[in-house]
Amino acid sequence: MSSLRNFILLAVCILAISVASGAEPVPTQGLLLWLDADEPASLSVDGQGNVQAWKCKANPKNELTVNGNGRIHRIENAVAGNDAIEFDGNASLRQSALKNELGNLSIFVVSRRQSGGDDIADNIADDGDTWQRLVSSTPGPGIPDTDAPGFFVVSQVGKKGKSVAYKTQVSEAFPQQASAQTLSIAGSAAHGAQRFQGQICEVLIYDRHFQDEASIHAIRSYLAKKWNAQLTAYQNGWTRTGDLPNPPVRISDTLPLSDQNDLGGWVPVASVSDEFDGSQLNQDKWMPRSPYWLGRPPAFFHESNVKVSDGQLHLTFRKGEVPEMADKEEYHTYTSAYVRSKQAIKYGYYEVRAKPMSSAASSSFWLSGRENKFWTEIDVFEIGAGAKGFERKYNMHVHVFETPKEKRHWDQGAVWLSPWDLDSDYHVYGLQWDQHKIIWFVDGVPVARMENTDWHNSLNVIVDTESMFNWFGQIDDADLPSTYSIDYIRGWQRKSPAPEDSLDEFLTSLTDQTEDTPSVLGQQRDWTDITGRHTITATAIAIQQGWVKLKLSNGTMKDVPIDRLSKDDQQLLKRSPSKE
């Protein structure tokens, strides 16, 4: 039986064969721009090593030239024994008319930033522009790259967009219907500012999206190996491409949509669950304000924007000011909304049914908290459904602000491209978080997975709306007021610790779930326990609450915990459609 795992392994094998045979080590179909700092022939360099132009490896007619008065120079053997291009933060590279038509793009950039000492990770580079661009594009002069069809890829940043030092990494972006009319490397294509200070090693831009995860893994593997680049937990994990196959049907409101057979053995957590059936917010469970934060400037969190009505929680973003903002200079013009659980929780499954607002203000569902020198955050989603170019982007992030070993802020993110506009209707969004892994769900179907490396402290459940002008762009006041509506928030925890499964096992289970699987109920078969030593012949009669009811050949009924069965039997029950 084929699986995504097999495709990925095949891609890696093809990659190795291609390198050995002299063929290109990355997919070339749709390769619009390929800049490789370790290809001397692609660089025009003067006698002092200053770069004058950088030509595309795939098509030398595509050439970027210097924009600005700073220095761009080639450094030999700079990164993993390969040459790199260093930018001083005062100049960038630019090309016009790379591609005139709008279309989907896939972008990969290898970069790093050093600052002082030998240990890059411990050094902060607070100088230079904020939100420094690795790649930027606009459809014309003066048009911000934050507005579609423009796009941008930023270097790793710290608080308030400040530049930070980081080791060699691969950055990615997959904009939809984007423009590559005016393209800039290491600076904003709109105004020449937000210039990157650091080293860029390689850039790959495709004029298409990939239909299979295997091609993306092949590109990541090539870049990581060549440049000794760090891949994030997301990049070592998995993100869905394409539609949602076979979304599950809701049978019970007492279980996560993704696990209606209760293979996880879930117990509801009342303190972070609410159907919002009353006429006001239940302040025994929720706070209508943040105890630590006034909002993302310029929008100010205000309780008047939090309403419960018609069986839903409504969070509104509006134009206008309130008296509490008068002495706070950075807050003006807009107010927003924030709701936070009073109880912090550790691990579990958390789900909302919600409809994001139709403006460029964010609609967000996230978990955050501080505990025992740990300060971390998991963003189930941050959606800018009314922002141009973000209508279908389901944005997922994780943040680490502080741990006993980390004193700097870093984050990782992934994007699933939805087949529908995210503000068009209500959908179910979930997060499974345990000591081994973090999995994101839409309508009960996994859309991303990563290993849990740092998120082991208790977190509060939060829903809010913010002004994210540096990301979603400026809000159109004509779209205001806009409201993010939440039908329910539900939380569960497991009766026993989550089992550990590998990424390969997870990918195999996904492939199995896309196949048409008849119900196992009513069929007589052999069932094996988790040790593999005991087998019985029986017919499955019912699946409920983590148990399967088996009818033995002598007519005896036996209730068996699903987690006591073999992994194959557990997967069969998980895939099996349930019957009343």
User: What is the secondary structure of 394-435 as a DSSP string?
Assistant: EEEEEEEEE-SS--S-EEEEEEEE-SS-TTSS-EEEEEEE-S
Predicted structure pTM score = 0.68
Residues 59 and 196 in one domain: yes
Q: Using one digit for the tens of pLDDT, what is the confidence trace for 280-315?
A: 999 999 999 999 999 999 999 999 999 999 999 999
**Torsions phi, psi for 323 (to 5 deg):** -55, -30
What span, in angstroms and rounded, lies between the C-alpha atoms of 36 and 58?
10
Span of 3-12, 194-203, 504-513, 516-525 with lowest mean pLDDT: 3-12
Residue 247 placed within a domain: no
Show which of 462, 494, 526 is a domain's final residue.
Answer: 494
**What is the domain-level CATH number for residue 490?**
2.60.120.200
Q: What is the pLDDT of residue 156?
A: 83
Residue 314 placed within a domain: yes
Residue 505 placed within a domain: no
Query: How many separate domains does the chain show?
Result: 3
Q: Please, which pLDDT band fits residue 115 given cuts at 50, 70 and 90? A: low
Q: Please, which pLDDT band fits residue 576 given cuts at 50, 70 and 90? A: low
Contact yes or no for 189/145 (Cβ under 8 A): yes
**What is the domain-level CATH number for residue 566?**
2.30.30.700
Peptide bond preceding 298 in cis form (omega within 30 of 0): yes
Q: What is the pLDDT of residue 219?
A: 93
Structural domain range at position 93: 4-231
Residues 527 and 439 in one domain: no
CA-to-CA dists, residue 227 to 36, 112, 199, 506, angstroms: 11, 10, 12, 29
Mean pLDDT of the 371-386 span: 95
Q: Using one digit for the tens of pLDDT, what is the confidence trace for 229-262?
A: 988 777 778 888 888 988 888 989 999 999 988 9
Please say if the pLDDT value at position 394 is more than 80: yes
Residues 489 and 539 in one domain: no
Is residue 560 within a helix (H) or strand (E), and if so which, with residue range?
strand 557-561
Residue 33 placed within a domain: yes
Number of helices (H), then strands (E), in the chain: 5, 34
Residues 295 and 403 in one domain: yes
Residues 294 and 441 in one domain: yes
Residue 324 placed within a domain: yes
Instruction: DSSP letter for 345, please.
Output: E
Instruction: DSSP letter for 328, please.
Output: -
Residues 130 and 189 in one domain: yes
Q: Please, which pLDDT band fits residue 62 given cuts at 50, 70 and 90? A: very high
**What is the domain-level CATH number for residue 33?**
2.60.120.260
Q: Using one digit for the tens of pLDDT, what is the confidence trace for 468-524?
A: 998 999 999 999 999 999 999 999 999 988 888 776 677 666 655 544 445 677 778
Residues 349 and 430 in one domain: yes
Show which of 188, 209, 231 is a domain's final residue.
Answer: 231
**Torsions phi, psi for 206 (to 5 deg):** -105, 145
Residues 438 and 538 in one domain: no
Q: Please, which pLDDT band fits residue 16 given cuts at 50, 70 and 90? A: very low
Instruction: DSSP letter for 284, please.
Output: T
Total Cβ atoms within 10 A of residue 97: 10
Residues 457 and 533 in one domain: no
Highest mean pLDDT among 208-222, 345-359, 539-553: 345-359
Residues 484 and 526 in one domain: no
Residue 500 placed within a domain: no
Residue 282 placed within a domain: yes
What span, in angstroms and rounded, lies between the C-alpha atoms of 417 and 553?
49
Residues 340 and 460 in one domain: yes
Residues 196 and 300 in one domain: no
